[in-house]
Amino acid sequence: MRQLRLRQADMEVRLDRVENSLLFRALRWTAAKLNLRAAVESGHDYSDWLEQCGWMEPSPQEQARHMASWGTRPRFTHLPELQTAESWRNTLRQAGDEFSVVIGGSVVLSPLADYRWGEYLQENPGCDAVYSDWDHIAGDGQRHAPRFTPELSPELLSTTRYWGDCFLIRTRLLRELACDLDPADSSWMHTLSRRIADSTRIARIPHILWHSTLEPIPVEQPASAATSDAAQASIVICTRTPKLLDRCLRALRRTDAAQAEIVVVAHDHGAAARLDRIATAHGARAVRYSGQFHFGVMNALGARHSSRPVLVFLNDDVEPISSAWLSRLLRPLNRPEIGIAGGLLLYPDNTIQHAGISVGGGPYPSHLGRRQTSSPWWPWLRVTREVAAVTGACLAIRRAVWDELGGFDPRFQINYNDVDLCLRARRAGYSVILECGAVLHHREAQTRSTIVTPDEKALFTSVWASELAKPDPFFNPNLTLPDERITLAHPCFAR
């Protein structure tokens, strides 16, 4: 009998592995959804995407088997939002489990929520707090307006409630951080989430674990006063085209960049004398460069001929829209933990050219939301936040960090030099920020080809293979970037 039970247990383990393998889930989904409409195939229909997700989720029987195998099953105290500060403090004192789930008054929990939280804590016992993706639910039960989230983004959390109104935290930490809060204050949940982010080990579960019954609030870049001195910057512009340089410098003079030092690296390509005259006429310093175009070498030359504590690398086909763009761009660099900041770049038709670069989950870096004005799946597109990388078309870096990193890697002559610099900055412990208060137009590739050669791709993938193999922490695995447009990923690949 004992041998029979052992065989039965072994068969259940084998069955569990099969049922939860990526291949089995993909086959199960394919068999159930062979008649998917073209709209679903392209990832534009959220209700059908949710139906696909349902086929990929473990059944109640599968959940029960998994939970039975956990050595110590985590227990959660559900703490619903209360109306008075006194009742909230009483509830905190009475919470007896190791973890608590803080639940806003408009929250409807998914049946999978406790299972997903427990599953994560089994694999990550040192975690202190967990938030997740979420969406909205109408009175008729229709789900809409998903909020797919990045991993911890302190910059994004400082201005938006991207965690929403439901998250899990160790009870002892909750008592320390929330005992003085009043649930009657409409901002109390955001205050709590920011305190948690400042003091604990935090994780994100990229599954929708709860739904909000409230109407979606549009996510917008908050207005903020410029808080940095534009005179601290040296702007380096590499150019070989007089018309573009003249237009760029004229646009800069109409903004706070007039306070900055400007160094023009004039590519000696038949028009160097004209470039010198244009630079001088606009109060810029001209430095000549001879030889084949090399983005990193040319910008390094400009940096050596500059003197101020912050370097700003700017393409000659970029023109600022906002008058205080430079002060806004420099703002994040006031904090020592931030090493690089990039601007929000728009095409002349005001669609996005650059709103951060995604690295990971694909073979090559991708611009987020290129040619889109916004995204229903990624509402943070035009909001200041941490990103994997920013474009060298408008990139600010403290000179001390530039020197520490050794500047652009000369192996990358035309492409990927900016992404490589950002990844090295992050590896050194610095954050990279997309500063959406600095908005510029970018007439991309006016004088140079945008083609990336096979040699450049091979070099980048060999240097950064480990980063490319992992999901981008500042994006979401439920989303994908075909042609750099943000859309829903198929659940069999996202989960």
Quote the radius of gyration of the chain (alpha carbons, Å): 26
Residue 380 CA to residue 371 CA, distance in Å, equals 16
Residue 298 CA to residue 237 CA, distance in Å, equals 9
The yes-or-no verdict on residue 292 having pLDDT over 50 is yes
Domain range 230-494, CATH class? alpha beta
Whether residue 205 contacts residue 116, with contact meaning beta carbons closer than 8 Å, is answered with: yes
What average pLDDT does the segment 302-320 reach? 97
In this prediction the pTM is: 0.88
**pLDDT averaged over every residue in the chain:** 88
Q: What is the amino acid identity at position 270?
A: G
Of the candidates 318, 393, 328, 331, the one whose C-alpha atom is nearest the C-alpha of residue 356 is 393
Residue 44 CA to residue 53 CA, distance in Å, equals 14
pLDDT value at position 452?
82
What average pLDDT does the segment 99-110 reach? 91
Start-end of CATH 3.90.550.10 domains in the chain: 70-212, 230-494
% pLDDT > 90, the chain: 68
- Min mean pLDDT across 137-146, 219-228, 250-259 is at 219-228
Phi-psi region of 21 (alpha: psi -120 to 50; beta: other; left: phi over 0): beta
Q: Is the CA virtual torsion 22, 23, 28, 32 positive or negative? A: positive
Domain range 70-212, CATH class? alpha beta
**What digits encode the pLDDT tens for the residues 448-479?**
556 788 899 999 999 999 999 999 999 999 99
The yes-or-no verdict on residue 343 having pLDDT over 90 is yes
pLDDT value at position 490?
81
**What digits encode the pLDDT tens for the residues 317-339?**
999 998 999 999 999 999 999 99
% pLDDT > 70, the chain: 87
H or E element that contains 440: strand 431-442
pLDDT value at position 40?
35
**What digits encode the pLDDT tens for the residues 5-58?**
445 545 554 555 555 555 555 554 454 344 333 333 344 589 999 998 888 888
Q: How far is CA 267 from CA 68, 252, 261, 282, in A?
A: 68, 20, 19, 18
Reported as a pLDDT band with limits 50, 70 and 90, residue 127 is: very high
Q: Which residues pair with 313 in a beta bridge?
A: 236, 395
**What digits encode the pLDDT tens for the residues 60-78?**
889 888 888 876 666 777 8
